[in-house]
Structures are given as C-alpha cells and as structure tokens.
Amino acid sequence: MAETKKLMRALAGEVQDVPPVWMMRQAGRYLPEYRATRAQAGDFLSLCYNPELAAEVTLQPIRRYGFDAAILFADILLLPQALGADLWFVTGEGPRLSTVTTQADFDALKGVGDIDEVLSPIYETVRILSRELPAETTLIGFAGAPWTVATYMIAGRGTKDQGPAHALRTENQPVFDALIDLITKGTIEYLSKQIEAGAEVVKIFDSWAGSLKGEAFERYALQPAKEIITALNARHPGVPVIAFPREAGDNYIGFAKATGADCVALDNSVSADWAAANVQVDGCVQGNLAPGHMVTGGQALIDETKRIKQAFSKGPHIFNLGHGITPDANPDNVQIMIDAIRG
C-alpha cells in the first residue's frame, strides 16, 4: 500500500510541492492548554511519567494546528535517570543531575538492561499515541545523542560551553569513553522500545554537537550516531531516523551518508540556500526557520517561511524550526507559518 503520510514520504525521498511541517517543542509552554495540563500533573517530571497526560500534551498541538507529525512528549534526561542518575528540575533554572566525573561515579550507574523499569511509562505514552493520533499524522519518538546527554551527566546541569564535559574528555578519557558507550547502548535500547511501542520515526537530538571540533566531532557526534542508527536499522528495517547535530556547520555536509540517517535536521545558523546545495544533495533535510519568528511574527515570518520553502523545493524537505519554539512565542504565529507553507 502506497504511503499516505506526508512526513514518511519526505523521509523516503519524495519531493512534495507542500512539505510536511511540525515543530520542535510543539507541545510546550507557549500553549495555554499545555500549561493547564502541566499544572494538573504537578511538575514537569510527573507530566513526563504520566502516560495519559503526556499523551494529552502531545496531542494538543495536533488538534490545534493539524501538524503532519507528533513528537512524543518526554525529556532527553529521562535516560540518565533510568541509568541511575538522580534527576530533578529547579523552577526557572532547568534540570539538575547527580554528576559523573570519576570511575566510582560511573561504576555506581546501572546497566542498560535495567532502564525499562523507569522508562516503561514512556513506552505506554507511545502506545496511547499510536492509537489516538489521526491516521495521517506520523508519530516521532526521540532520544538525546550520547555527547549531549553526557554533557548534562558530567556537569550536573546545562552549561554554556559544555566545559566540564570537554575537561573530562581530555583529563580522564577512559571514564568519558565508558560513559559515551553506556549512553550509546542505552539509547539503542530506549529508541528500539519506542519503535516497538508504535513510533514510526525516531530522532536523535545532539543539541551541543557544535561544541565538538575536528576529530572530536567525528568520534563523539558522528560515530555514536552511526552506531545507534546501524543497530536500529538492523532491528527495525524501514523505520527512518532523523539526526540533529545542532550547530554542526560544515560538519552537516556528508553527515547523512556517514551515519546512515534518513534525514538531517538543520539549525538556523546555516542558510537554507547553503544547506540545499551542500546537505540536501544527500537526501531529506529538516528545518530551519529561526524560532524568533514565532515571537515577532508579521510579514517577516511569512516571507522567511516562503523563502525557506522555496530554497528546499527541489529536494525532500520537512519544514521545521531551527531549534525548539520558545515559551514566549505567540500561538497565532504558528498558524501564520502553517498557512504560509500550505498556501
């Protein structure tokens, strides 16, 4: 039977007059219905681990906007928690974790075989969504990439330059490499279970890939992505993988071929014209409207949306932002963007 879902068609290499569209963080604080459901849950982690409420917030932007894809509502730091790290969120400041900086810290973590005990509610959310999403809407599962997840586990929080992780990488490479390997193997299991529960596509978010330079990028961004994608392809043939090595710059070139990714998501630090000439030549790309347009709106939003659509019109393209939509975005601007895409 011919594939009817627009997003799946783009991932298969089809060029479409109107590209499929979804947004990173499309279920989030910019929507009043999300804020109401989060208040009902009590706190962020309680929302992530409540399958009914997590499915509800995943469905909210689909009901409101009719996006071509829904992305599972969860967080990249649930895997470290499943591996034995302590995780909590500080209101207004973001996540905090117990740190891994020594061999003893690493030895205290759990094995990959133990993660399902913590993550089983996430798989249940996927199962609910696979039943409740509209027939035309693609369900995307996701995980953080090993390097990005490691930066949080090493520093215990988000950092501006990922300095603690870079320091451990140079000062105690055996512990650093062991952590990357553990996260890589855990990510394979985590994404595989999401696919078994009903995810039709999975995405790997390497939010801090841009701070890896030269050989370090290849070793800690490219190679783990390749290992994860190769393993998923072997277990789940035909399930596409989107890779997002954010702010990779010239390292976007050839990333799909080197890793086996079916699509490369692009941040907005590269131009659509450059990406069309250098990245889209290898297959599907996703992106890359600057999230600030969701705040400011106006004619500039319409013009830039149409410009990006045109720039990528000669190859397979999934329209998205270059990073997640921000809490101060105007929900009306999302509809303006969608109207500009769909005409």
**Could you give the domains of the chain?**
6-342 (3.20.20.210)
Element of type H or E holding 230: helix 223-235
Q: Which of 148, 168, 167, 166 is nearest to 158 (CA)?
A: 148
Q: What is the pLDDT of residues 172-205, one digit of tens each?
A: 999 999 999 999 999 999 999 999 999 999 999 9
Q: What is the pLDDT of residues 33-53, one digit of tens each?
A: 999 999 999 999 999 999 999
Q: What is the pLDDT of residue 3?
A: 81
Considering 152, 190, 220, 252, which one is annotated as catalytic? 152
Q: What percent of the chain has pLDDT over 90?
A: 97
Mean pLDDT of 150-163: 97
Which residues have CB under 8 Å from 45's CB, separation 6+? 75, 87, 88, 89
List own/partner pairs for 217-220 with CB under 8 A and 24 or more apart. 217/248, 217/251, 220/146, 220/147, 220/169, 220/180
Q: What is the pLDDT of residue 91?
A: 83
More confident call, 292 vs 3: 292
Mean pLDDT of 66-88: 98
Q: What is the pLDDT of residues 96-125, one digit of tens each?
A: 999 999 999 999 999 999 999 999 999 999
3-class secondary-structure state, position 273:
helix
> Which residues does residue 242 pair with via DSSP β-bridges, in sequence order?
203, 263
How sure is the predictor about 2, in pLDDT bands with cuts at 50, 70 and 90? low
φ/ψ of 292, rounded to 5, equals: -60, -25
Q: What is the pLDDT of residue 1?
A: 41
Told to judge if 123 belongs to the known catalytic residues of this protein, a careful annotator would answer: no
Which residues have CB under 8 Å from 190's CB, separation 6+? 79, 82, 115, 119, 143
Element of type H or E holding 196: helix 173-197
Considering 9, 68, 75, 282, which one is annotated as catalytic? 75
Q: How far is CA 270 from CA 25, 185, 276, 315, in A?
A: 20, 31, 10, 17
Told to judge if 64 belongs to the known catalytic residues of this protein, a careful annotator would answer: no
Mean pLDDT of 79-84: 98
Is the pTM of the predicted complex or chain greater than 0.85?
yes
Element of type H or E holding 251: none
Cβ proximity of 202 and 245 under 8 Å: no
Average pLDDT of every residue of the chain = 97
Considering 38, 64, 127, 307, which one is annotated as catalytic? 38
φ/ψ of 201, rounded to 5, equals: -145, 150
Considering 9, 25, 169, 246, which one is annotated as catalytic? 25
Told to judge if 152 belongs to the known catalytic residues of this protein, a careful annotator would answer: yes
Q: Is residue 232 predicted with pLDDT exceeding 60?
A: yes
Told to judge if 29 belongs to the known catalytic residues of this protein, a careful annotator would answer: yes
Q: What is the pLDDT of residue 117?
A: 95
Q: For residues 228 and 150, what is the distance between their CA atoms, to the nearest angstrom?
A: 15
Told to judge if 43 belongs to the known catalytic residues of this protein, a careful annotator would answer: no
